[in-house]
Amino acid sequence: MTSDLFPPALRDKLKPSGPTVPHPGSFPFAPMPDGADAAIAQFTDACETVGGRVSRVANAAEAADIVLAYLEAAEWMRPGQPGPAPFVAWDADHLPLPDVLSVVEARGAKRLDASVHAEQATRDDDCRRLDAAIVGITGADAALADTGSVGLVHGSGRARLVSLLPPVHVALVPVERLHATLGALLAAEPDLLRAAANVVFVTGPSRTADIEMTLTRGVHGPRIVHVVFVG
C-alpha cells in the first residue's frame, strides 16, 4: 500500500505524539571469555541448558563419527533397512569440513537430494522421499556464546529444510565464528543480514508447550541439535 492510499485517519494516529527520542548511542557488549576453550565452555553451558549437545573436532573423520553415531543408532533404524540411515546436507563447499560428506557416504550412509520441486504433486513425492533422512548436516555462519545459539544463513546450496526436517541437526561451526553476543556479531559483521535471503538463529532442539502446557520436543523441528565446533 502506497502512502497516498493509506487511510488518513490511521496515518494521523500513527504520527509521533511526543518529542523525538534521541538515539542512545553505542550499546555495551558483554566481553568475550578469554581464549577459545573458555568461550566454548560458556557456549556449551548455555546450549546444554536448553537441551542441546556440543562437541569439538579437529578433522572430518571425527565429525563423521558423530554423524554416523546417529545414523547407526537402533532408535532410527527401520525394519529391513541395510546399513546406516540416510541423511541430507548443505553442499560441501558451504561446510567448514567439506570432506565430511564423502567420509559419511564411504561408511555406507546415503545422502538424499535436498531439492524440492515447486509443483505440488512432485513436491509431495519429494517430502515423502526426504522423510527417510535422520540427520541434517549444515554449516553455521555464527555461534553466540551467551545463548548457545548458532546462526544459519540460507541460500543456494544451503537449503532450509536440512536443519528443519530431520529429527537430528548437526551444525558444523568454525571456532573463529564464535562471538560473545548477537550484538557483538552484528557489530563485527554488519552486512551479514543484508546479504541473506533468510537467517535463522537456532537455540537447542525444537520445543513447544502449546498442548496442555506440556513441554514437547521435535514438534516444529529437530528433536536433537548437536553443535560441532571445528578447530
**Tens digits of pLDDT across the chain (231 residues):** 455 666 777 777 777 677 777 766 766 667 788 888 999 999 999 999 999 999 999 999 999 999 999 999 988 887 877 889 999 999 999 999 999 999 999 999 999 998 888 888 788 888 888 899 999 999 999 999 999 999 999 988 999 999 999 999 999 999 999 999 998 898 888 888 776 778 899 998 876 666 666 656 656 668 999 999 999
Residue 9 domain-assigned?
Answer: no
Beta strand residue intervals within 5-63, DSSP E: 53-57
Residue 1 domain-assigned?
Answer: no
Distance CA 225, CA 206 (A): 8
Provide the domain limits for residue 77. Answer: 33-230
Find the CATH number of the domain harbouring 168: 3.40.50.10420
Distance CA 141, CA 143 (A): 7
CA torsion 132→133→134→138, rounded to 10°?
-170
Q: How many domains does the chain have?
A: 1
Residue 24 domain-assigned?
Answer: no
- Beta-bridge partner residues of 228: 55, 172
What predicted TM-score, i.e. pTM, was given to this entire model?
0.83
Distance CA 230, CA 167 (A): 22
Give the DSSP H or E segment for 48. Answer: helix 36-49
Distance CA 145, CA 185 (A): 11
In angstroms, what CA-CA distances link 120 with 11, 114, 117, 155?
41, 16, 8, 21
CA torsion 91→92→94→95, rounded to 10°?
130
Residue 3 domain-assigned?
Answer: no
Residue 70 domain-assigned?
Answer: yes
Strand arrangement of the beta sheet that strand 149-154 belongs to: 178-179, 142-144, 149-154, 198-202
Amino acid symbol at 83: G
Residue 102 domain-assigned?
Answer: yes
Residue 28 domain-assigned?
Answer: no
